[in-house]
Structure 1
Amino acid sequence: MAAGPLAVKRSPVRLTADASLTITRLFWPGTDRARNVIERVDTLDDEQVRRLLDATREDFAHLHDGIENIFLAHYEQVAKRVEMPADATRERKLYIGACFTLEYAFASAAMFNPSMTPAIDQSGLEPGSLRFVMSLRAVGEGHLSSIVFRRGIVKAGGDIVMEPPGPYHEPLRRAEYERFSKAKFRVKLAELGVRDAIMEVVLRRLGERFTADELREAINGPQALIDGLLRPDSESAGFEWLAGCDYDIEASPEGSITEVVLFPICEAESQGMEDMRIVRFTDDDGSVRYYGTYTAYNGRQTLPQIVEMPELNVARVRTLHGRCARNKGLALFPRKVGGHYMMSGRIDGENLFILQSDNIHVWDEAVKVQEPQFPWEVIQVGNCGSPIETEAGWLLLTHGVGPMRRYCIGATLLDRDDPTRLLGRLAEPLLMPTAEERKGYVPNVVYSCGGLVHNGLLVIPYGISDAATGFATVSLDDLLARLV
């Protein structure tokens, strides 16, 4: 095994908070205040409404061309909650919609915990260059996390060139509610601690497949039977929490992935969408698509989610099920291994596992492959993104947590044919926070959600103390020499 420290080169490129990046969101002040706003608008004549609407358009001309569609969509959302004026003109609907719209700087606080994967489109590049797609955790007002995407190029020598972002559009809208499977829903409710007696009261009123609306109706219908049985702190929230987590979303067909913001839609995501691990996945038939696994957080519980992006303007969001689909940081392998889907994850909060399944949405089998061993990872270990295939085996970036909750990045090598077989691991961190990198919202952290290999270099994008994103490169051969 080779001796001596690994030469890790840090790039000067930094991605930091940017308050100029904004989207629009529904502003909801509550039912009583909403009625007051509508009553005030109703006192205006049509000419006053027209002038005020024109002034609003002019003041917010920096937003994208679809702003009127956003106003109308927000009008319709509010109209479902409170009564609107009869026979309102289009201008009045637009102005009411504007009153219930706000501009939100989704990356005003931080941009960190990145993952990168080779882009599907590699056209128009200089020889020796590679285009990549990157996901990032963006944090705005209220420390609310969303997921954004960037593109860039790795030059032959490892230099990073980022493409300009945006212009960002409103969060992708829900296109279609998923129909839930009663069998899968029952399993997930059991994992949440909902008792059989409560489950059956609700689920027996539903078909084998049902929508979120049908579930809510079933919950409200037998309320007399449920009253006194539910534990309000857990069971009563379980049904609604899971109900809105499977959905389809879409953007403009003309848009780019760099214009997309995945913003919380369902209750399970209400306090943030965290740490996507994006991977370019090649299926058995040679088709290629992006998958991204992330953690949904509602302020109390986490839920593992997966996004499938077969096209740039379509995303299918699904909850991961099964007894091993738990905790944070699940990362999908970039292809099947031995005919099975594979994932890496820390399903017990402490150790590293390899999961296997024939269904990408259901994970019931896992093998523990790595425990904390060295002082820098004495608290816990986990992955830092999807495994990377090399001739020597699957290279898995890891993170270890040590004293003072310091996060460092390490590396593990797994067998190509049997990823549950560990071939080697670094005894010392590959990357640890420097004096400059130790300062941030969460100090003493370097953390990645996935890197890539290009031209003999391992490229690692990494979060810096929950504040910014940096890049580092290291020789792949030198790293493998310490792992094989």
Structure 2
Amino acid sequence: MPHPSFLNRHALHLRPDPARVVVRAFRPSVEPRDYNPLDKTRANHIVDRVLALDVAEAEAVLAATLDNFDDRHRNLPAIFEQRAQEMEDAFSSHCCFTPTQLQLVGAYFLHEYSFEAAALFNPSIVPHPNQSGVAPGAIRFILSLRAVGEGHISSLTFRCGTFLADGTLMIEPPTRLASLPRVTMRVGDKLDLAFEADSDITERVIFPVTEAQANGIEDARFVPFIEEGQTTYYATYTAYSGQAIRSELIETSDFLTFRLTPLKGPAAVNKGMALFPRRIGGRYAMIARHDNESLHLVYSDNLLEWGLGTPILTPEFPWEFIQIGNCGSPIELDEGWLLLTHGVGPVRHYSIGAVLLDKDDPTRVLGRSHLPLVQPEKSTREGYVPNVVYSCGAMRHGAWIILPYAISDTFSTVATVKIDSLLAMLAPAYR
């Protein structure tokens, strides 16, 4: 391992908080043994019971519900009404509702979900689009994190922080509230999402919407992509249906509105794709792992269709004999493309390493770490999945690399390292 002073491990632990909740759609199921196509559904029965309440009782139930939950969510009455409107198939025998009845019906078809109760891990980091008011030599950043709640369902959440010129790193606490976006466009599995304009970024949670995402939006690798002076933030992530996986793409310019699109082609059927921050030779480029153990360079002319590419890295050292993968998008340096990697060794022990790729021809490996840069420590390796350190993306700022990473698929922390020190660890590649 490198000398202990090689990495500056900051005393920041981002741990899951079960108090952070969103409201999700809930619809009671019908037991197969009880099903009769001539009967009303359970949803119809619930609506009938609500409408049978007299005016005073309905108002009292709604007031008590709002008193119990309103301080935990943004604009809960509107959420109730929106959910009721989504349940119109249960209202077929009813012509109209009072505002109280509409909100109360909506409340019965929602439930709270603690989206990060189990884990908060696999972070990536990018510069914040708004750098106004930042001190000289400092940078404001956004962390994306994979949050896991009940049923091992993964969603995407955010934190903000600042890295100061003296090497101090601060992460702001999240807001108490959390909210889901509106779906503003849906064509097949292609989605446009929008959050409330006055919401804080730490409040925003991107939760699975499509069937392909039903069990998780996993391991988003964000990167600022610069073209013609404009910056677009892209992130590849794994959509998990509960049975199958595929790679999908997030696009945003402001972290307020997002577009989610499935990727296509043979390289997109696996996980762990990471986009280069600019075109190479006029084409989009990704690091991918479609053979489950090695890293490949793949290209696309349209950002969405990805064929098979050129193998550039295979497992070579004992700490990566099982497989290797990327730890986020390549970072452009004067010396080449810095690619952080992960390797899996004995007893499924995950470590983080690095390679340096040629800037013009990223299939050429210029240097490679023979030993891990970061690996699980005995004092912190216990967790949801023990013996794992993992990152979905680091960031350069001046002479520093800022590396957020997760520990044991449970919580996240951050380390920083000087670029010169990191490059000195990369032995020349003999190829």
TM-score under structure 1 normalisation? 0.83
Letter of the aligned partner of 2:179 in structure 1? E
Say which SS state the counterpart of residue 396 (structure 1) adopts: strand
Which of 213, 216, 230 is the matching residue for 1:272? Answer: 216
Name the structure 1 match of 2:316: 373
Change (3 A) 1:449 1:65: closer
- What SS does the aligned partner of 1:126 have? coil
Equivalent residue, structure 2, for 1:127? 136
| Letter of the 2:98 counterpart | T
What is the root-mean-square deviation of aligned Cα atoms in Å? 1.7
1:140 equivalent to 2:149? Answer yes
Matched to 1:282, the amino acid is: I
- Distance in 2 (alpha carbons) for counterparts of 1:159 and 1:439: 27
Q: 1:142 to 1:91 in 2, by over 3 A?
A: same
Q: How far does residue 437 in structure 1 lie from its aligned partner after superposition? A: 2.3
Cα deviation 1:218-245 (Å, max 9, x = unaligned): xxxxxxxxxxxxxxxxxxxxxxxxxxx2
1:421 equivalent in structure 2 = 364
Q: 2:200 aligns with which of 256, 274, 281?
A: 256
**Which shifted more, 397-406 or 311-320?**
311-320
Q: CA deviation at 1:258?
A: 2.2
Query: Which among 262, 267, 277 is matched to residue 334 of structure 1?
Result: 277
Change (3 A) 1:5 1:255: closer
Cα distance between partner residues in 2 of 1:327 and 1:302? 7
* Matched residues, number: 416
In structure 1, distance between residues paired with 2:381 and 2:63: 48
The answer to whether the aligner puts 1:41 opposite 2:40 as a matched pair is no
Specify the SS of the correspondent of 2:62. Answer: helix
* Cα separation, 1, equivalents of 2:20 and 2:383: 21
- Displacement of 1:327 in angstroms is 0.9
Q: Counterpart in 2 of 1:385? A: 328
Of the candidates 392, 400, 404, which is equivalent to residue 343 of structure 2? 400
Q: Which moved more, 1:11-20 or 1:158-167?
A: 158-167
On the 8 A contact 2:225/2:234 being kept in 1, the answer is yes
CA contact (8 A) 1:437 1:445 kept: no
Match of 1:247 in 2: 191
Distance 1:303 1:51, change over 3 A: same
The equivalent of 1:307 in structure 2 is: 250
Q: Distance in 1 between matches of 2:302 and 2:150?
A: 37
User: For 1:164, which of 149, 155, 173 is the aligned residue?
Assistant: 173
Pick from 439, 452, 460: which aligns with 2:382? 439
C-alpha distance in structure 2 between counterparts of 1:302 and 1:158, whole Å: 39
CA spacing shift, 1:350–1:81, aligned 2, 3 Å: farther
**For the residues of structure 2 that align with 1:76 and 1:30, how far apart are their CA atoms?**
19
The Cα of 1:82 is off from its aligned counterpart by 5.6
SS of alignment partner, residue 247 of structure 1: strand
User: What does residue 193 of structure 1 align with?
Assistant: none
Q: Tell me, in whole angstroms, the C-alpha distance in 1 between the residues paired with 2:120 and 2:242.
A: 20
> In the alignment, what sits opposite 2:96?
87
Flag structure 2 segments of 5+ consecutive residues without an equivalent. 31-40
Percent identity, aligned pairs only, is 44
C-alpha separation between the residues in 1 aligned to 2:21 and 2:167?
31
Residue 4 of structure 1: how far off its partner (Å): 6.8
Q: What TM-score, normalized to structure 2?
A: 0.93
Say which SS state the counterpart of residue 376 (structure 2) adopts: coil
Match of 1:100 among 86, 109, 113: 109
* Aligned AA (1:321): K
Please point out which of 373, 381, 385 is paired with 1:430.
Answer: 373
Are the structure 2 counterparts of residues 5 and 140 from structure 1 closer, same or farther at C-alpha, using a change threshold of 3 Å? closer
Letter in 2 for 1:30: S
Determine helix, strand or coil for the equivalent of 2:102.
helix
- Contact 2:387–2:408 at 8 Å: present in 1 too? yes
Do residues 356 (structure 1) and 355 (structure 2) align? no
- Report what 1:53 is aligned to: 62
SS state of the match for residue 235, structure 2? strand
CA distance in 2, matches of 1:130, 1:28: 45
What CA deviation, in whole Å up to 9, does each residue of 1:293-319 have, x standing for no partner?
110001111010101002332111000
Q: Shift in Å at residue 73 of structure 1?
A: 1.4
Superposed CA deviations along residues 4-42 of structure 1, whole A, max 9, x for unmatched, are 787122111000010121111111112533222222212
Q: For the Cα contact (< 8 Å) 1:136–1:149, is it kept in 2?
A: yes
For the Cα contact (< 8 Å) 2:181–2:206, is it kept in 1? yes
SS at match of 1:36: helix
